[in-house]
Structure 1
Amino acid sequence: MPRTILYVDDDVALARLAERHLGRAGYVVIPAADGATAMAAADRGGIDAIVLDHYLRAETGLDILHKLQEQGSTVPVIYVTGSSDATIAIDALKNGAADYVIKTVGEEFWPLMESAISQAMANAELRRAKELAEQEIRIGKERAEVLLAEVNHRVANSLALVAALIRLQAGSSKSHDVKEALSETQARITAIAGMHRSLYTSDDVRQVEMDKYLGTLVNEVQGTVTDHQGPSIRLDAECMALTSDRAVSVGMIVTELLTNALKYAYPPGAGGEVRVLLRLQPDGKALLAVEDDGIGWKEGDTVKGTGLGSRIVKSMASTLGSAIQYVERPKGTRAELVLELSAM
């Protein structure tokens, strides 16, 4: 299909030459002698390129170029100037012209014009293809994010249902050991469900805001493994984000450490406080700590319970490229984990 060129020049003889030369190159030429005629032709559409002369009777080509820009035209413009009008050509390029051609009386003018038109249209097609590809990428990304958020939502709901069923099972069991085991399992499942819930409510489904995630996790663990007379939990977490897989590991570590502290840090029936800390360090790393002011426990002491929680903590810390350290304190227990932010 032939390409259509809008040729704006008040020189009738030159416009006829344009129709003849460009017609031989396979173009359909629409002549326009002034801005009003040119803008009317541009408004009708179907123009593949515009050749715009600078000197017109009542205006300049720059005036028309400004009007085209104001209307958001994406049609490439080849600006035509006299041989001594280099500054005008520069102004045209600054104002959106795709290229310029110096007007001469020699035969080289039309080959240069054909080359400029062909190159300008090719570049315009590349820009349109690029914009279309970027638009498709944006749409695909948005669809993927919506789909992933929906998946996270459904997974979180399913995990919450499983946790509720376990809670019912624990409530109907007559064995204290079974109740405790089921309660710990419920807390672990709840930690993972909380991470998924954080993902589908986040603007970036690849990241988890740890202060919000740990806030939800702390509240759920508090209600799952303690009664209202037991120790309380205080969270002090600075704003930072982790990738979802690392957030799961951190969530599991916090859940296990909290569960142990709430069960064993203080004598049965006694109050107290368990603190969860997540802070940025001067060296660019992050420090995660769970501490209490209870009876105290250090690494090497006899493990209370089945020891499954300790094994889970070590395994999760290993996936983060770190290890749990127990810090000696005058009173109570403090478990620390250093996170490399560069791996987030």
Structure 2
Amino acid sequence: MDVHEEPSPNPVQVSVPDRLEYRLKQQRIAAEFGYFALKTWDLDELLQEATRLAALGLNATHAKYLRPLGNGAGFLVVAGVGWKSGVVGHARVGDDLESPAGYAYHTETAVISNHLENEERFRTPLLLAEHGITRALNVIIRCDVKKYGVLEVDSPGEGMFDEADISFLENFAAILGVAMQRAERDEQLKEASALQEVLVQEASHRVKNSLSVVAGLLAMQARTAENDDVARALRDAGQRVQTVASVHDRLWKNNTVRIIGLGTFLRDLSEQLQATTSGVTVRCRVDDVDVLTQQAVTMGLLVNELVTNAVKYAYDEQGGFVDVEVRPSAEGCLVLSVEDQGRGLPDKLDTSGGSSLGLRLIASLSRQLGGEPRWERLSPGTRFTVTFLPASDS
């Protein structure tokens, strides 16, 4: 079957200068659409602009994008210009070989119908007849091995579509096919990323729940312990495990994987610590800086230990303030400090750790950050500082 019609016996005569201008116009429109396709990520907007410019490029009043529904259900008019209200998004046309669009889709051959009223090769779709369409041009939209549908340009006026028009519309459809493939792959990447995010959050959530169970078991053991020192050690261990659980909880709720905003993270942690104290106010001043999640976890555990110690030992029933601060240094480091205005450190306290599990933990966490802990006796109170380099994401 020859799908390209023979020239009309009395074709509309077009002068050479006018025809040259017509082809130059088509080149400009194709270039304009190529630029538009590169900058937009909205598929609906892309398809609508494609039909508008395709009609403009062929001096036609109507155009449409036909999406195959599969299983013999025909094509759906997804985008288009020139059609009556209710057509785009609802109307269907046939996708079999007796349909011009169906033939173009299945054979991957452009189909010109310049005289639909006398068409004997195909049946004229009812949609075209209802709009008084007298000529149509159909080309397939594809990229690599996937077919995305058919781009059709229609006109109720006089004139003829020719081989040069086929070339224009096929090139136009090729650009559209690449853009549609890009949009499809972008959507697939988003779905894969969303799935990975869900899996990471689920893993973190399970870690948090498991740690909470361990903390609960330690608390139970503390309540049944007959020795006060053992009970106190179990309670302290349970609180530390619960802190780790809380840190994980905050990370998965913030969709955090590798990088976290330190300011928000430590302010939230300080508010949580404040809620567990009575008479002591925890104040937090932290610059907005991003750090690796693992470094934030270490800082969170360190701040928890320091604030908890200050609440326990710095003040009596009247309470006071504990200040948490992170600031940049001139050398590009970060300086973490926790300060109180309480009774101060005992004179003979070994701040390097000694027999105190809490102080040994503080020293260990400080070194994990890459710094050395420093204790200062104030008048009144105590200041702890550690200076370290932010870890790089490499």
Alignment TM-score, normalising by the size of structure 2: 0.53
Change (3 A) 1:259 1:175: farther
- Bigger drift between 290-299 and 215-224 goes to 215-224
* 1:188 matched to 2:254: no
Instruction: Indicate how the Cα distance of structure 1 residues 131 and 206 shifts in structure 2: closer, same or farther if over 3 A, else same.
Output: same
Alignment of 1:259 with 2:283, yes or no, is: no
Distance (Å, rounded) in 2 between the aligned partners of 1:217 and 1:261:
15
**Which residue of structure 1 aligns with residue 336 of structure 2?**
288
Question: For residue 65 of structure 1, what is the aligned residue in structure 2?
Answer: none
Which one of the candidate residues 133, 149, 153 is aligned to 2:185?
133
Alpha-carbon distance between aligned partners in 1 of 2:324 and 2:251, rounded to the nearest angstrom: 21
Q: 1:277–1:41: structure 2 CA closer, same or farther, 3 Å change rule?
A: closer
The aligned runs of 1:96-115 (5 Å cut-off) are: none
User: What does residue 60 of structure 2 align with?
Assistant: 35
Indicate the residue corresponding to 2:322 in structure 1. 274
Structure 1: distance between partners of 2:12 and 2:65: 17
Cα drift, residue 172 of structure 1 = 2.6
Instruction: Provide the rounded CA distance (Å) in 1 between the counterparts of 2:374 and 2:236.
Output: 22
Kept in 2, the 8 Å contact 1:49–1:75? The answer is: no
Name the stretch that deviates more: 154-163 or 247-256.
154-163
Q: Structure 1 residues 236, 315: closer, same or farther in 2, change over 3 A? A: same
Change (3 A) 1:180 1:274: farther
Q: How many residues align?
A: 264
One-letter identity of the residue aligned with 1:278? V
Q: Which runs of 5+ in 1 are unaligned?
A: 15-31, 52-72, 77-109
Query: Percent identity at matched positions?
Result: 27
- For 1:343, what is the secondary structure of its paired residue? coil
Q: Cα gap change, 1:271/1:176 in structure 2, threshold over 3 Å: closer, same or farther?
A: farther
Task: For residue 63 of structure 2, give the secondary structure of its aligned residue in structure 1.
Answer: helix
Instruction: Name the aligned partner's letter for residue 324 of structure 2.
Output: V
User: Counterparts in 2 of 1:294-333, with a 5 A limit?
Assistant: 294-297=342-345, 301-303=349-351, 306-333=355-382
Any idea what SS the aligned residue of 2:254 has? Answer: coil
Counterpart Cα distance in 2 of 1:5 and 1:149: 58
Q: Structure 1 residues 119 and 320, CA, compared in 2 at 3 Å: closer, same or farther?
A: farther
Other-structure match for 1:100 = none
3-state SS of paired residue (2:326): strand
Q: Could you say what secondary structure the match of 1:35 adopts?
A: coil
Contact 2:256 2:293 in 1 (8 A): no
Amino acid of the residue matched to residue 35 of structure 1?
A
Distance apart, 1:335 and its partner CA: 0.9
Structure 2 residue runs of 5 or longer lacking an equivalent are 15-56, 67-76, 78-92, 94-100, 112-138, 143-162
Q: Distance in 2 between matches of 1:221 and 1:41?
A: 59
Q: Is the 8 A contact 1:187 1:221 kept in 2?
A: no
Distance 2:380 2:58 in 1: 93
Alpha-carbon spacing, 1:118–1:74, altered in 2? closer, same or farther (3 Å): closer
Query: 1:102 is matched with which residue?
Result: none
Alignment pair present for 1:164 and 2:188: no
TM-score by length of 1: 0.59
